[in-house]
């Protein structure tokens, strides 16, 4: 059986920017320490939530390197290395391995809408280039491509393709993966269906909400794993309105706005993303206050 990169709640970490729109490494270090002290099970950097698509190559690799050094082996660091250019994805993957990342998160190529043979070969090229584990990232709402069960079966034969971040929102698809490809670990890519994904064989979540409720997301996964399903369900349902409002506009706009409200000082999103609509932010703040999420700096 392949070894899972982690079990539990991995945070899809935001990338903090300063007032000059540069990476704020001081705040990044604070976030990493906060997550480790609050039992986050893995740190995922340079993913969708981390705004990797608007970072240049040097910035991208510097965040991976910084996270690896600051975490220093206390929890796994997983580097987002996806691209719609296979050569680019291979280069990022190799560099992340050299910098000490514990695993890679590789999104399906976007915009190109790769066909079956191209998608399979894309991932095979990446897998052959590195020795660390790879988590496939299936998010068709953003990429226009859904990884078919046929392709997943084919790719799961590769030793270092070990898991999938399943963000299609289709629990039936996740159940089919668990049924037909038992050696491919499943992480929920959607906070709101964490428990349904766990119930069909998932082992955790790669979470946006964990940026503001890290201990709670860890606890949901832990309690489910211990058999305390009711406890896990109650916690998730308590935060469901917050979670839903974190996606009332495109991620990571709401999570960065609410983190700034809570005192995390993560800065703005980079263009082409912009400010959240006032009415949506007000509703998100209201839901956060209703469940008593505390301010990071008071």
| Residues whose CB is less than 8 angstroms from the CB of residue 82 and which lie 6 or more positions away in sequence, other chains included | 52, 89, 105, 106, 107, 108, 109, 137
Question: Which of 137, 219, 224, 264 is an active site residue?
Answer: 137
Catalytic member of 165, 185, 219, 224: 165
The whole-number pLDDT of residue 53 equals: 95
| Alpha carbon 89 to its chain's center | 17
Phi-psi bin for 42: left (phi > 0), alpha (psi -120 to 50), beta? Answer: beta
Residue 165 appears among annotated catalytic residues: yes
- Contact by Cβ (8 Å): 270, 243: no
From residue 8, alpha-carbon distances to 38, 104, 203, 214 in Å are 13, 17, 6, 11
What proportion of the chain, given as a percentage, has pLDDT over 90? 98
Residue with tokens 């660091």: 77
What tens digit of pLDDT does each residue of 254-289 get?
Answer: 999 999 999 999 999 999 999 999 999 999 999 999
Confidence of residue 297 (pLDDT cuts 50, 70, 90): low
CATH T-level topology, domain 8-228: TIM Barrel (3.20.20)
187 is catalytic: no
Q: Give domain limits for the chain.
A: 8-228
Q: What is the pLDDT of residues 20-36, one digit of tens each?
A: 999 999 999 999 999 99
């Amino acid at each position: 059986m392949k070894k899972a990169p982690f079990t539990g709640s991995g945070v899809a970490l935001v990338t903090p920017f300063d007032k000059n729109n540069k990476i704020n490494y001081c705040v990044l270090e604070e976030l990493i320490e906060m997550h480790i002290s609050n039992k986050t099970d893995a740190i995922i950097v340079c993913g969708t939530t981390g705004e990797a698509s608007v970072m240049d190559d040097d910035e991208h690799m510097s965040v991976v390197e910084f996270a690896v050094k600051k975490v220093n082996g206390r929890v796994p660091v997983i580097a987002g290395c996806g691209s719609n250019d296979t050569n680019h994805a291979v280069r990022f993957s190799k560099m992340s391995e050299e910098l000490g990342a514990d695993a890679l998160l590789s999104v399906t190529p976007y915009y190109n809408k790769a066909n079956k043979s191209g998608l399979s070969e894309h991932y095979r090229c990446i897998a052959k280039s590195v020795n660390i584990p790879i988590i496939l990232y299936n998010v068709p709402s953003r990429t226009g491509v859904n990884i078919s069960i046929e392709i997943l079966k084919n790719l799961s034969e590769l030793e270092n393709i070990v898991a999938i971040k399943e963000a299609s929102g289709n629990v039936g698809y996740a159940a089919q993966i668990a049924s037909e490809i038992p050696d491919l670990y499943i992480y929920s890519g959607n906070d709101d269906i964490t428990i349904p994904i766990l119930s069909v064989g998932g082992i955790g979540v790669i979470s946006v909400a964990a940026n503001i409720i890290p201990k709670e997301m860890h606890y949901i996964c832990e309690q489910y794993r211990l058999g305390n399903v009711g406890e896990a369900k109650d916690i998730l349902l308590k935060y469901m309105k917050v979670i839903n409002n974190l996606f009332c506009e495109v991620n990571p706009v709401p999570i960065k706005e609410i983190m700034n409200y809570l005192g995390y000082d993560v800065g703005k999103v980079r263009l082409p993303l912009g400010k959240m609509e006032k009415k949506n932010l007000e509703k998100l703040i209201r839901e956060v206050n209703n469940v008593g999420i505390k301010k990071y700096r008071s």
